[in-house]
Amino acid sequence: MGLTRRADDEWYAGKDGKSTLRFECTQCGACCTGPEGAVHVNQREVRMLAKHIGITAEECIDRYTHMLPEGRSLIERETAPDSGCFDCVFLDRTSDPQRATCSVYDARPTQCRTFPWWPDNIKNPSSWRRAGTHCEGIGQGGYVPIEHIRVQRNAQEAAHPVRRGS
């Protein structure tokens, strides 16, 4: 898939290199938990995670991933029996009682690094509004530079050409 876009695809383009989209992560952790979903990983991302944790890629695959119809994903753990709420296996709720944090932050998958700038989230104004119902950082902070959005969107497309949002 080509990564170039026509300018009119970028409905959110603003002035002076900025977009009309505001975002600032509050580190609420909501994007790492919720209904059953997927955190997709490719081979390169598995190797990064394995190196970060200090295990082999094969061990990383066995312990922390499973196959879904659309590809390999990190596993999740239900926060309480029949709660319907699933944490990413790397979400750490104990180290800091005030916050849920990513225990593999420096090696987190592209899907996590590029959120919320996934193609599905920025497709049109309603998809952006919908993303904002799950992420409290959307609509907060300053207007994000358009180049930053392009880089993140393209990185997500390159790592995982066909993905759904969580």
Q: Which residues bind ligand SF4 (CB under 6 A)?
A: 25-32, 39, 74, 88, 90-91, 102, 104, 108-109, 112, 115, 135-137
CA distance 3 to 158: 8
The answer for residues whose C-beta is within 8 angstroms of residue 119's C-beta and 6 or more apart is: 153, 156, 157
At closest approach, how far in Å is the CB of 144 from ligand SF4? Answer: 13
| Beta carbon of residue 2, minimum distance to ligand SF4 (angstroms, whole number) | 27
Q: Chain centroid to CA 15: how far?
A: 27
Rounded to the nearest 10°, the torsion over CA 37, 150, 22, 20 is -130
Is 59:50 a contact under the CB 8 Å cutoff? yes
Comparison of 8 and 106: residue with beta carbon closer to ligand SF4:
106
Q: How far is the CB of 69 from ligand SF4 (least distance, A)?
A: 19
Pick between residue 100 and residue 146 the one whose CB is nearest to ligand SF4.
100
Smallest gap, in angstroms, from Cβ of residue 50 to ligand SF4? 13
Nearer to ligand SF4, 1 or 80 (CB): 80
Instruction: Rounding to the nearest 10 degrees, give the CA dihedral for residues 144, 1, 128, 11.
Output: 70
Between 5 and 77, name the residue whose CB sits nearer to ligand SF4.
Answer: 77
In the complex, the smallest distance separating the C-beta of residue 60 from ligand SF4, rounded to whole angstroms, is 12
Which residue's entry shows tokens 């919720």? 34
Check the CA dihedral 25-124-35-42 and report its sign.
Answer: negative
Which one, 10 or 87, has the nearer CB to ligand SF4? 87
